[in-house]
Chains A and B, each alone.
Chain A
Amino acid sequence: MGSGFQFRFAFLVLGSLAVIQSFAAGETVAGETAAGEAVLGEAVVGEAVVGEAVAREAFVVPTFRSAGSAFARQGTKPAARPNFDGIWNSATTTPLERPAQLKDKAFFTPEEAAAWERQITGRNQAPGTGIGTYNTVFREYGTRTVKTLRTSIITDPPDGRIPALTPAAAEVKRRRLAGIKNPASAQETGLQDRCLAMVTTGPPMLPYSYNSNYQIIQSADAVVIQVEMIHDTRIIRLDGRPHLPSSIRLWKGDSVGRWEADTLVVDTTNFNDGGGFYGDAGGNFGWDRNLHLVERFSLLDKDTLLYRFEVDNPTAFAQPWKGELTMTRSTGPMYEFACHEGNYALPNMLNGERVIERRSSTPR
């Protein structure tokens, strides 16, 4: 998290609930809980669905090219590419997966989006029940849907839901979830609990309930994405060098970028075996080392970045799937993130498990 409350307040208006809510169940079924409560009135849901074509049309906007930033000292960028330099926030009320009550509805109308935002924001601000964890000052829940008014971050398959896992991947996930729910050791917890990786880093880079912030620095040869969480930094090379040998396996994979017109296309392979299981709160996806990820960055307007991604991983998923979200420009700055530092959660989680075992006298 960012140090200093100034920063926290600055971002309080931005943040994501839907993703973390769904992740609380240890599943990647975002919005399920939200759907069940259906504060969004039936009348609203039942209203005429905005045609996809219409909604898309609304978001075909002029491209914003680099004209030198407000802080530019001298010279210009080496090529007239869209300029992504700056700090971006991806927090949103839009859930990762389409809620059941929006089954056939890919887009909100503006009025529906406003109602959805009120519903989610209201719930985020409601006092929690049970033991609870962080309070609303700590969280940075999003208060707005994605700018495209999609009802889910997942765009393909058309039902807005992540496809089924293959039997082998489902078995891996079953085992990992068993460990995450009742960890015998630190190694069985999620990547997030171990401070190794967060869902905001991915890639793909998905919003979380706080610190969904990125700083992008772009040159002709590389694009740097500093992720607030875990102070992870992706350096995406644009110089045409091929991917690393397949023997090199990395948490963030190996990313190479290229420009297709005004879109930055980032191709990532070389993932390791441990990815995709962030833990109870972070999402558990189940992709494996064969994941081939393609991300697309473009500008909807000068303050809105459209982030699209495609997951191609036949050994893990029954079919490829795609998603998209929008990020909003922020003035920042981003401060240092601390994960393990001053954080006693991991020992406490393991202690808790041991206490439960002693009480039930059924050691694992």
Chain B
Amino acid sequence: MAISGKSRNALAVTFAIAFMATVTGASPAQAQSAKAEPRTPWGDPDLQGIWSIATITPFERPSALADKAQLTPEEAAEAEKTFLKTQNQDRRDGAGTEADVALAYNDFWWDRGTKVVSTRQTSLVVDPPDGRVPALTAEGRARATARAARGYDSWQDRSLWERCITRGLPMIPGPYNNNYQILQTPDNVVILHEMIHDARIVPLDGRPHVGQHIRQWFGDSRGRWEGNTLVVDTTNFTGKANYRGSTDGLHLIERFTRVDKDTVRYEFTIDDPTTFTKKWTAAIPMARTDEQIYEYACHEGNYGMVNLLKGARAQEKAGGEK
């Protein structure tokens, strides 16, 4: 099922408005449990279970919160309340208008979370300290411009998301199906992504990355333990994976830390010097869920792509903008 970039932007904007109305000063702090985290029988930190990264916390810090890294509990509660009110997809204002059609799925269908992240950070990006993705390089900007010019001539012009190829890496919250299942052995970690039923098998045995000429949507992942943190190092991406405009030179470093019974802290660092002017890092608490993950369907029973292209052809016939 495809969600347009437009809808996602709308979510972010509304979130920003909600925050602007509610924020006051508070000091940033990371809440970490002092309790001993669970261990596997062979002594590794236990990351196993089903985890959700659904959250209403925006990826980048809203400009209104420029100097504020963390919400107070009261601000968080207010932000959640406002978000739910403004984002109610079940409302019907103006039947027959484009705004009404754009509501698309209803609230029963969405699964984007109702809470800010448990750390109450104001953005998922935590480094740079302003909570914003660093500027693109000149080359990165040129590539972004070329990408933005792609239209609706063919399904190949559309995003990987809409084409059901992959939702890719890193793991970032979306509007639905934010669930992951982690399984461990001494030698491997398996991470099942609900979306596109992608599953990564990350070897922990220290073997080197595959040869440079092997390029994959999910790259090539190698894991190791650094203290209580699982560090997953991924290279060998195909340039087509294109996370936020990144290239095949993307070096992704993910860190998984079980901070308490119900939380794995997930952190990723994006290192791609030809695309971003500096490295950056996001942190997302993964919340334990007792729900099960079922099979995911993307193209199956989904007429979204056909309809997108048909719509574009209809607009062309009508003399509208291509």
Contacts and interface: CB of A to CB of B under 8 A. Distances in A.
Interface of A: 3-4, 6, 68-69, 71-78, 85, 194-196, 215, 217-222, 224, 226, 231-233, 235, 244, 248, 250-252, 333, 335-336, 340-341
Given A77-B185, A196-B300, 18 more contacts: A3-B214, A69-B205, A71-B205, A72-B186, A72-B205, A75-B41, A194-B299, A194-B300, A217-B188, A219-B185, A224-B190, A233-B199, A235-B192, A244-B292, A335-B214, A335-B216, A336-B217, A341-B165
Contacts of A220: 41
19 contacts: A3-B215, A6-B211, A69-B187, A72-B187, A73-B205, A74-B43, A75-B44, A76-B186, A77-B185, A78-B42, A194-B299, A194-B300, A224-B190, A233-B190, A233-B197, A235-B190, A250-B294, A252-B295, A335-B214
A147 to B, nearest CB: 26
B203 interface: yes
Interface in B187-238: 187-188, 190, 192, 197-199, 201, 203-207, 210-211, 213-218
Contacts of A74: 42-43, 186
B201 A226 contact: yes
Contacts of B186: 68, 72-77
Contacts of B187: 69, 71-73, 85
A229 B186 CA distance: 26
Interface residues of B, number: 38
Contacts of B199: 224, 226, 231, 233
Nearest to B41: A78
Interface in B274-322: 292, 294-295, 299-300
B168 to A, nearest CB: 12
Given A4-B214, A252-B295, A341-B165, A217 B183 contact: yes
A295 B41 CA distance: 28
B216 A336 contact: yes
B183 A75 contact: no
A291 B6 CA distance: 44
Contacts of A215: 201
A219 B205 contact: no
Nearest to A253: B295
Chain B binding site: helix, strand, loop or mixed by DSSP? Answer: loop
A358 to B, nearest CB: 22
A222 B183 contact: yes
Interface string B73-84: 000000000000
Nearest to A75: B42
Nearest to B217: A336
B181 interface: yes
A75 B43 contact: yes
A85 B185 contact: yes
B294 A217 contact: no
B14 interface: no
A323 B184 CA distance: 31
Contacts of B44: 75
A340 B186 CA distance: 35
A72 B44 CA distance: 13
Contacts of A4: 213-214
B192 A219 contact: no
B48 interface: yes
B21 to A, nearest CB: 42
A124 to B, nearest CB: 27
| The 5 A-B residue pairs with the shortest CB-CB distance in the complex, in nearest-first order | A75-B42, A71-B205, A233-B199, A78-B41, A336-B216
B322 to A, nearest CB: 23
A4 B206 CA distance: 23
B204 A73 contact: yes
A224 B210 CA distance: 22
A342 to B, nearest CB: 10
B38 to A, nearest CB: 13
Given A3-B216, A333-B210, A219 B184 contact: yes
B238 to A, nearest CB: 9
Contact of B183 (A6, A235, A340, A341): A235
Contacts of A335: 214, 216
A11 to B, nearest CB: 15
A238 to B, nearest CB: 11
A233 B190 CA distance: 10
A221 B41 contact: no
B181 A217 contact: no
Nearest to B216: A336
Contact of B198 (A72, A78, A231): A231
Contacts of A341: 165
B216 A235 contact: no
Contact of A235 (B43, B181, B217): B181
A194 B186 CA distance: 37
A335 to B, nearest CB: 6
A250 B187 CA distance: 30
A218 B183 CA distance: 9
A222 B205 CA distance: 20
Contacts of A78: 41-42
Nearest to B166: A336
B94 to A, nearest CB: 35
B216 A232 contact: no
Contacts of A226: 190, 199, 201
A222 B206 CA distance: 24
Contacts of B183: 217, 219, 221-222, 224, 235
